[in-house]
Structure 1
Amino acid sequence: MTESTPAPETRDYRDTVFLPKTDFPMKAGLPQKEPLILAKWLEGNLEGQIRESRKGRDQFILHDGPPYANGDMHIGHALNHILKDMVVRTQTLKGKDAPYVPGWDCHGLPIEWKVEEQYRKKKLNKDEVPVEEFRAECRAYAQHWVDTQREQLKRLGIGGDWDHPYLTMDYEAEATIVRELLKFAANDMLYRGAKPVMWSPVEKTALAEAEIEYEDIVSTQIDVAFQIIESPIAELIGAHAVIWTTTPWTIPVNQALAYGPEVEYVLASPLLSGGSESAWNIIHAHPLYNGWFDRPVLVAADLVEAFKARVDAALKTIDLSEVGSPRVDFDLDFGPEDRFKGADLAGTIARHPMHALGGFFARPRPFLAGDFVTTDSGTGLVHMSPDHGEDDFDLCKANGIDPVFAVEGDGKYREDWGWLGGQGSVINPKFNAPDGPICTDLRESGGLLAASADYKHSYPHSWRSKAKVIYRCTPQWFVPMDKVMTHIEPKTPREKRWENEGGAINPAEEDLCAAPTLRQAAMQAIDETRFVPEKGRNRISSMVKDRPDWVLSRQRAWGVPITLFVDRKTGVYLNDPAVNDRIVAAVKAGGVDAWSDARAQEYLGEAYDAADYERIVDILDVWFDSGCTHAFVLESGRWPALVRHDGGTHSADLYLEGSDQHRGWFQSSLLESCGTRGQAPYKAVLTHGFTMDSKGLKQSKSVGNTTDPVKVMQTNGADIIRLWALSVDFTEDHRIGDEILKGVADQYRKLRNTFRYLLGALDGFSEEERVTDVAAMPELERYMLSLLADLDTKMAQAVDDFDFNSYTRLLADFCNEDLSAFYFDIRKDVLYCDLGPAAPLGTDTRRAYRSVLDILFHALVRYAAPVLVFTSEEVWGTRYPEAGSVHLLEWPTVDAVWNDATLATKWAGVRTQREAVTEAIEPYRREKTIRSSLEAEVTIPDPTLDPAALEEIFIVSVARAGDALTVTRTENHKCGRCWRHLPEVESDGSLCNRCDTVLDA
């Protein structure tokens, strides 16, 4: 061709190139698509299809811990249910029969409190409304939120038997709870006793530890003088024993003083120094002085300085400005023999600072030895109020001192109490303030040494009302933790225990050979349970090991009643199976309203007179309700899918809740089951942490840093929340926020793009095209199948470990790094250009590639299905619109033989070299010296593969071996079809050998 001859027109080869084609859009549109997919599932009864497809298979039963039917779903609900759904779906994917029956906790104070709030807004008194009417409103309130949360959770893609959830307020459930309670009663595992329990004066009921949260507050701290009137140590008679407390309101109920037997105490005379005579006169006339400086004080030696500082600070509050005098200093003077061991104080008696009131206050206050007394703070002497402290109660009871029940349920002293009767509330800061009635009276009596409203500390509050709680001694019903359960057989029979040579029981095993206590049974059950993470075992063990007896009773209306009749003469509750059966039957037929005075004689029958029995009107702790759900849900047969068909125990395979449930549902379920069945109701327990905001702070509506999952679904879609929940390390506290969700959305787009590529690249794929002999495939395809086999092993292990963070990360990394950034990038040339008239099924390499893509598709869509429940359904339906739901599929068939460690090591080296080449080319791309890697020629030191093979792997024009990694621009011409720069291309726009061959029909 001469310069004057015009160049022939370059042909456009685009019509000869395979371009991926799919109807699967890159733009997800999840908020619009997901409801349509959900509606299709519901219309086609997908849950029923899944159950039918897994009928008779090995079972995996996750028992749903009941969320509370009170308010919209929050992000904690979302995380919890996504994790549960992930468990159920992955077990189903593994071929197991894994039904999910959702449930709700419907009784208890939170709902009752909300209904009462509605009454208060209308200026109505709940106590003036018939109790049946009030309960009906509570039931309606609970049902409303059950229905609301159910729709929100379904929208989140949570699969399950939503048409038949379990509710603790169902009559049958209430009857089951009554039946379980009566099992404790029948086995003599209930007693009524008076002990201090957490009590909410605002809600007027006892609270369980799980209903308590701790907040920092500032309290009034006071030092109070109790004058000693008798003692074996003569020097102490007439001295002031000083106690320190941050609960001034307990002083009116004081009955003794406790000392530490090993603590060293000192007797010291108070001294005032400095100041003028005028200043002294003012102080002597001040109520704070009131003559107490005339007597020595008894305090712990280690706490003298702290005591002095508090009194000195109190004295400095006295205004001396009118006399222009410097402040008076407070000091203590010790004699050489004024030191005593705590044990020497035995037999000492003091009198209450308000003894002049007579009656209760005139009684002597004995000194009692208490091992719990320390010198960490205070004065080393502790005032004892058995009504309002566990240590106080135990020590006083051991010494014959009973509680007096001075504080009523509303937090006020009872009307007939000799000091401040009818006043309170005792937790009101003003009532306890330095100028409040308690401190004022103590000051006037000469008993107040110091008072200041500046003590910062953590204090228990009701997590519902947010109000402070108190310890209050009231008659309650308890389950004993340390009573031998004679109805429970030893875990292993005595004759099967290991024995010593002499035939005696091995001492290490002896406890397990006898009937256990509830505490022992629970501790052994904990040892036999799997905990994920493992630290959960120590957490619940420490709680069960030291917990007090279980307080079952609550003084409310909305809940399951304690259905006991107590003999008015003996105080013993009636234990008659026939009576119990009538009660259970009545509750099953009519719910908790069946427990009424009007029907008492009906239940007692002809054998007993209702006039002789007290009908207990307390209701059960709501944790007992939820602790019984295993009996109702797993054993009743109401849900056939949950009935064990392998003859196994009633225990669920897994309980899954937040870590706070170690003291809540996990523990109440454990105690209830161990108390009635001698074993835990679960084989494994999985716990998750709490969701914090993006800064790691606790989410709070008042702060405005909450993430509403309902709104996220409306804007981003449920699959985005699911991907977030399954990407974080949920075993620890974790974070969520707008920026975090943006990152999750980006991760989602990459996963979606992987499926979009697979769908497009597999367009038209047929069995005729498939390569079945893996050994005949190119090495790159065999390497990718090796990676898939390795991934499959790790994903399966992640399922077994409930390690969903790793599961999701493995899936995302494989799609992004191994496929999109590596395999797809390399093979796109083969995909596009190795198909033509001369190769109607494609070249061998292209056929192998598409065969591997098909394997990858079937594996990845299954792996992704439990995570991206809606997107995976869309992906599957795009390729197989008539094949049914992706969620009916089972774990992919991946041949473990494909996993080739030698091949994997070799190709890891290739990828390292590829990354180095890409990095070396990048500066030339930025400078536009080289616009595409196809224009580059590279030299590679010690290439892992033959350099000619690396040209395809590195996507360059030429690759050759050399001493160092170098990059130059090629002078080879560009193929007009595949755009590769190759030596055989005669001019830009002409064809390379491969393209010429493929097109040669």
Structure 2
Amino acid sequence: MTDSTPDYKATVFLPRTEFPMRGELPKREPEMLKRWEEMGLWQKLRAAGKGRPKFVLHDGPPYANGNLHIGHALNKIHKDVINRAQQMAGKDADYIPGWDCHGLPIEWKVEEKYRAKKLDKDQVPVLEFRKECREYAQHWLDVQSAEFQRLGVAGDWANRYATMDFASEALIAGEIGRFLLNGALYRGLRPVMWSPVEKTALAEAEVEYYDKKDTAIYVRFRIFLYFGSNSSSEPDLLGASLVIWTTTPWTIPGNRALAVNPTLEYVLVQVTAVKDGSLARVGERLVVARELLVQFTNTVGIESCIELKSYKGSELGGRDSNVICRHPLYSPEDKLYTDNSPVLLGDFVTADAGTGIVHMAPGHGEDDFALCKAHGIVVPDTVDADGTYYASVPLFAGLHVYKAADPVCEKLKEAGALLHRNEFLHSYPHSWRSKAPLIYRATAQWFIRMDGKDEIRNKALAAIDNTKFVPEIGRNRIRSMVESRPDWCISRQRAWGVPIAIFVDKTTHEPLRDAAVMQRVVDIFTKEGADAWYARPASDFLGPDRNPDNYEQIFDVVDVWFESGSTHAFVLEARGIPTPADIYLEGSDQHRGWFQASLLESVGTRGVAPFKTIVTDGFVLDEQGRKMSKSLGNVTAPQEVNDKYGADILRLWVMNSDTSEDLRIGPEILKQQAELYRRLRNTLRWVLGSLDGFTEAERVPEASFPALERFMLHRLWELNGKIEAAVRGHDWTGVYPAIHHFCATDLSAFYFDIRKDSLYCDAPAAEKRRACRSFLDILHRCLATWLAPALPFTAEEAWVTRFGAETSVHLELFPEVPAAWRDDALAEIFGKIREHRGNVTGAIEEMRRDKAIGSSLQAEAVLSAEARAVLDDAALWADICITSAVSFGENDTAIAAQGQKCERCWKVLPEVGSIAKHPTLCRRCCDAVDAA
């Protein structure tokens, strides 16, 4: 090039933007968070939302114990996307994050330091211990708050809630008082799931199931009384044995009855031959269910037996039992286990396994307890809080039930009652905190009555029917749980929590139901917190008109699920936030946890559910579908993802997933998300670069857009429909994959490719270029706002780059998308156009492989008559096929273009050189250069 040769490259309008190609999210995101804090973005959002319809997504409290895990990240990101989208859809989406701070996990951690020093935690003054628990919870609350905010979760972090706040503790106590005053709260003896390690009752939601090796035994219960027919012509049951099968030998000392199914058939058999080593005896008579006889004889080593008689279960048992057995450990000489075991009828008895006869230990099973109680059988105290037998239990005093199988079997064998034993592996309940096995243990606990005059169960079921579930399957899950659940045990024998702040009359043993006393509790707790229950004398709560000596002060603490189930009262109602909340969103395990606790608490005190919609997430697994475990080394920590990729990548993973199903994550999946993010970022960058210098004066009305731009408006209308449906229905599955597909397929591989020529080479005043830039302005506003809920950092960067540092995309509303943008007929036409374009593109690729041409602009598209019938516009076809010319023929194909290559736009046209002033340019480029 000589000095006199024009530099036409400088006249091409190439994209220019300060929006960098590389996101560098780990560096930029913290800077963005600081900027938002400095500009008071949350306060501006609240000011902007003032007067708008309220939207309330009530935050289920995570537990303040340890760093966040990937499940926390999924949960809070999903909530944040919904909140941000509702705000941008024109609502006032105030969001108050909160924490669950009481309970056993924290208490357990604080106890660890005492255990390490071999000190007894129970010797520590309760107020000092509670202070340490509070400090521990506060530490992790602060850590988690910072980690949530690093994920880009927007909320009122300065005014977060915590169950250990004084105001929270006061209103939790007040909610207990509501149940006390309406009569639904009562104290009763009943078996509950009990942790001997933690010495407290547990709720179902605190239980996990792991495989455990246990001992199963068959035991003889010898019949010594029979009130049925006893004619000389039929075999006598006296002296025969009913055989039971149990997987909990340790419960045998607590036996007080047997149960049979009234409709099952039972057979009395006499043993005629046994295998070597069998504990069965030739000549003995045994009773088992007919359906299980063969399985039973094979298991216990009976080679042969003869049937003597059969009985219906109803002939063996009843309200006045027809058959009464001795306790298998009965010893008349030593006067041990002298309580008899009557045979009762129970519909819960099945012929699925064992013998069809169940031993009843009313202190260690719900069915056992209910059946024995109905027959006036006293529940014995056999097992202490730490899992050891009481000193009053003969033969086994002080022995731990976990170690009782061998001693119990040995004593049964000595008594001639053991028929068989074997070891087996089965799924068994464990504490999800200590991981220790649990037992059923009858203790005096505080319960909320599910049935009765308050009809909490029926009201809860009706509320479930009126609640929207996303996904819908959640309705059946929680409904079945509420239908079958027992009364709610709300008491725990621990120190760190809100006490069940009530008094019991020592004479009547009835709880004191006095609204004035409860109000004093609430007032004092509001000022001093629940510690006041331990620090102040009972008289301060009872008032001057009652004698504290006449009352028992209850020091059990309330179940933490009751606390979190009360959050609607002390977070929403107490702050004047509308109830019921629009959404409760948690993992699917919360159908038995927070969702259910909140439902029962609210229905029991207010008669209505605290939510309108329940949204549930699945669980997070590794890339192979395995549960994450440190031992497997497959844990993905959100903090590590933030440091390597940035929070927007983690957020994109959430929103590209079907959150209603179990999600998978790992190194390869994160790489894929980073690649998807790169495409979205490049789309934003190209749009921003192509809008360089755009002004309102350049805008073209949408009604004047060329067909291609009108088709792209239609695509925006379709995507907007997905956004609006997600906002209405709270189901965002597939929305962001659709946006990514639009960016990759409709924009990058289609529209951008087509319009690059016009953007780069047309004169600024050219109608086509102005229409394109006008559409890109609309596109930028749509993409930036649509992406903002999921990718708040990147969307903000794309907005600020164009509109300035004083702006924020998060203060914008979603753009209004007119119905006029919809054009189904045009969309159908462009569907066919893209098919024909694909045929031409394929032909061009063959020419490039054959070295016949170097680029598509060196080709002339040949369109079939069918294509011409779809679009009879050669110029537009040339744009769409990105060729220099178009002709029509028999098939969709391509040939080499005729003419010379324009030095500026690179099109090959016969007209190049026809204008002497610019001998190397086409006419269009000549005009553009002269107009510059």
TM, length-normalised to structure 1: 0.89
Change (3 A) 1:643 1:340: closer
1:390 partner amino acid: E
Counterpart of 1:258 in structure 2: which amino acid? A
Aligned-residue CA RMSD in angstroms? 1.9
Please give the residue correspondences for 1:569-584 in structure 2 after superposition, counting only pairs within 5 Å: 569-584=507-522
2:699 is aligned, of 764, 770, 777, to 770
Given that 1:532 and 1:687 are in contact with CA atoms closer than 8 Å, whether structure 2 keeps it comes out as yes
Give the whole-Å Cα distance in 1 for the aligned partners of 2:43 and 2:3. Answer: 67
Q: Which position in structure 1 is the counterpart of 2:810? A: 887
Q: 2:849 aligns with which of 896, 910, 926?
A: 926
**Contact 1:214–1:461 (Cα < 8 Å) also in 2:** yes
Match of residue 512 from structure 1: none
The aligned residue for residue 641 of structure 2 is: 712
Residue identity matched to 1:618: D
TM superposition shift of 1:339: 1.8
**Residue 463 of structure 2 corresponds to residue 525 of structure 1:** yes
Deviation at 1:777, TM superposition (A): 2.1
SS in 2 for 1:367: strand
Deviations 1:24-71 (A, max 9, x none): 110110000000010111122110010011111111011100000011
Most deviating of 979-988 and 689-698: 979-988
Match of 2:654 among 721, 725, 730: 725
Q: How does 1:90-129 map to 2 (within 5 A)?
A: 90-129=85-124
Match of 1:513 in 2: none
> Does 777-786 or 168-177 show the bigger shift?
777-786
Tell me which of 916, 922, 930 is aligned to 1:992.
922
Is it true that 1:311 corresponds to 2:238 in the alignment? no
**Matched residue SS, 2:845:** helix
Unpaired segments ≥5 residues, structure 1: 1-5, 275-279, 313-329, 486-516, 645-649, 836-840
Q: What CA distance in whole angstroms lies between the structure 2 residues aligned with 1:725 and 1:882? A: 28
Counterpart CA distance in 1 for 2:554 and 2:3 is: 104
Q: Is the 8 A contact 2:861 2:883 kept in 1?
A: yes
For the pair 1:980 / 2:907, whether they are aligned, the reply is yes
8 A contact 2:500–2:557 mirrored in 1: yes
Question: What pairs up with 1:254-333 in 2 under 5 angstroms?
Answer: 254-272=255-273, 289=279, 292-312=281-301, 330-333=302-305
Q: Is this contact kept in 1: 2:706–2:771, CA < 8 A?
A: yes
Q: CA deviation at 1:986?
A: 4.9
SS in 2 for 1:141: helix
Measure, in 1, the Cα distance between the counterparts of 2:30 and 2:615: 30
Is it true that 1:394 corresponds to 2:383 in the alignment?
A: no
Shift of 1:928: 3.3
Identity of paired residues, percent? 52
Q: Residues 307-331 of structure 1, C-alpha deviation per residue, up to 9 Å, x if partnerless? A: 122212xxxxxxxxxxxxxxxxx32
Corresponding position of 1:164 = 159
Secondary structure at the residue paired with 2:669? helix
Helix, strand or coil for the counterpart of 1:753? Answer: helix
Q: Is the 8 A contact 1:936 1:957 kept in 2?
A: yes
Please say if residues 957 and 972 of structure 1, whose CA atoms lie closer than 8 Å, have aligned partners that are also in contact: no
Partner of 2:444: 475
Matches within 5 A, 1:589-738: 589-596=527-534, 598-637=536-575, 643-644=577-578, 650-738=579-667
Q: CA deviation at 1:360?
A: 6.3
Inter-partner Cα distance in structure 2 for 1:560 and 1:113: 16
**Counterparts of 2:850 and 2:444, CA distance in 1:** 85
Write the distance in 2 (CA, Å) between the matches of 1:465 and 1:923.
Answer: 67
Alignment of 1:502-521 (within 5 A): 517-521=455-459
Which residue of 2 is the match for residue 236 of structure 1? Answer: 237
Amino acid at match of 1:344: E
Taking a change above 3 Å as real, the CA distance of residues 8 and 763 of structure 1, as seen in their structure-2 partners, is: closer
User: Is residue 152 of structure 1 aligned with residue 147 of structure 2?
Assistant: yes
- Does the Cα contact within 8 Å between 1:974 and 1:989 map onto a contact in 2? no
Q: Is contact 1:416–1:422 with CA below 8 Å preserved after alignment?
A: no
Q: What is the match of residue 828 of structure 1?
A: 756
Q: Aligned equivalents of 1:631 and 1:393: distance in 2?
A: 35
Query: How far 1:715 sits from its partner (Å)?
Result: 0.7
Contact 1:135 1:558 in 2 (8 A): yes
Counterpart-to-counterpart distance in 2, 1:273 and 1:236: 21
Q: Partner letter of residue 930 of structure 2?
A: D
1:273–1:377 CA distance, 2 compared to 1 (3 A): closer
1:958 is matched with 885
1:156-215 deviation per Cα after TM superposition (whole angstroms, max 9, x unaligned): 000011111000000110000001111111111111101111111111100001111112
**Is 1:443–2:413 an aligned residue pair?**
yes
Indicate conservation of the 8 Å contact 2:364/2:441, yes or no: yes
Per the alignment, residue 490 of structure 1 pairs with none
Distance in 2 between the 1:632 and 1:185 partners? 18
Question: Of residues 200, 204, 215 in structure 2, which corresponds to 1:209?
Answer: 204
1:317-367 per-position Cα deviation (integer Å, ceiling 9, x unaligned): xxxxxxxxxxxxx323113x4222211213101111210175561122101
Instruction: Evaluate the alpha carbon distance shift between residue 598 and residue 38 of structure 1 in structure 2; reply closer, same or farther with a 3 A threshold.
Output: closer
Match of 1:949 among 876, 881, 884: 876
* Contact 2:75–2:586 (Cα < 8 Å) also in 1: yes
Classify 1:826/1:618 alpha carbon distance in 2 versus 1 (closer, same or farther; 3 Å): same
DSSP-derived class of the 1:37 partner: helix
Give me the whole-angstrom Cα distance separating, in 2, the residues matched to 1:569 and 1:902. Answer: 84
**Aligned-residue offset at 1:7:** 13
Q: Contact 1:268 / 1:332 at 8 angstroms: preserved in 2?
A: no
Please tell me whether residue 564 in structure 1 is matched to residue 507 in structure 2.
no
Cα distance in 2 between the residues matched to 1:127 and 1:688: 40
Distance 1:568 1:989, change over 3 A: farther
Secondary structure of the residue aligned to 1:217 is strand
Q: Partner of 1:959: helix, strand, or coil?
A: strand
The letter of the residue matching 1:412 is T
Matching of residues 21-36 of structure 1 within 5 Å: 21-36=16-31
Q: Which residue does the alignment assign to 1:345?
A: 316
Q: Alpha-carbon deviation of 1:684? A: 1.0
Partner of 1:403: 379
Q: How does 1:776-791 map to 2 (within 5 A)?
A: 776-791=704-719
Where in structure 2 are there 5+ consecutive unaligned residues? Answer: 231-235
Query: Does 1:14 find its partner at 2:14?
Result: no
Aligned to 2:233: none
Q: Deviation digits for residues 410-460 of structure 1, max 9, x if unmatched? A: 111101211301111x134xx32xxx111111111111111111x232211
Whichever residue aligns with residue 603 of structure 2, its letter is C
**Secondary structure in structure 1 of the residue aligned to 2:270:** strand
Mapped to 2, the partners of 1:857 and 1:626 lie a distance apart of: 42
Paired residue type of 2:474: G
Cα distance between partner residues in 2 of 1:391 and 1:164: 47
**Counterpart residue type for residue 643 of structure 1:** I
Change (3 A) 1:632 1:446: same
SS at match of 1:956: coil
- Inter-partner Cα distance in structure 2 for 1:92 and 1:331: 76
| Cα distance between partner residues in 2 of 1:534 and 1:967 | 52
Moved more, 211-220 or 620-629: 211-220
Residue 306 of structure 1 deviates from its aligned partner by 1.5
Relative to structure 2, which stretch is displaced further, 882-891 or 8-17?
A: 8-17
Aligned letter for 2:724? A
1:525 and 1:879 mapped to 2: Cα distance?
A: 49
Q: Does 1:252 align with 2:253?
A: yes
Partner Cα separation in structure 1 for residue 697 and residue 413 of structure 2: 100
Q: What residue number does 1:191 align with?
A: 186
The structure-2 alpha-carbon separation of the partners of 1:791 and 1:623, relative to structure 1 and needing over 3 Å to count, comes to: same
Matched residue type, 1:914: R
Count of residue pairs the alignment pairs up: 913
Letter in 2 for 1:715: K
Distance 1:808 1:187 in 2: 49
- How many Å apart are 1:261 and its aligned residue? 1.0
- TM-score, scaled to structure 2: 0.96
SS of residue matched to 2:878? helix
Q: Deviations over 1:482-505 (max 9, x none)?
A: 1112xxxxxxxxxxxxxxxxxxxx
Is this contact kept in 1: 2:274–2:282, CA < 8 A?
no
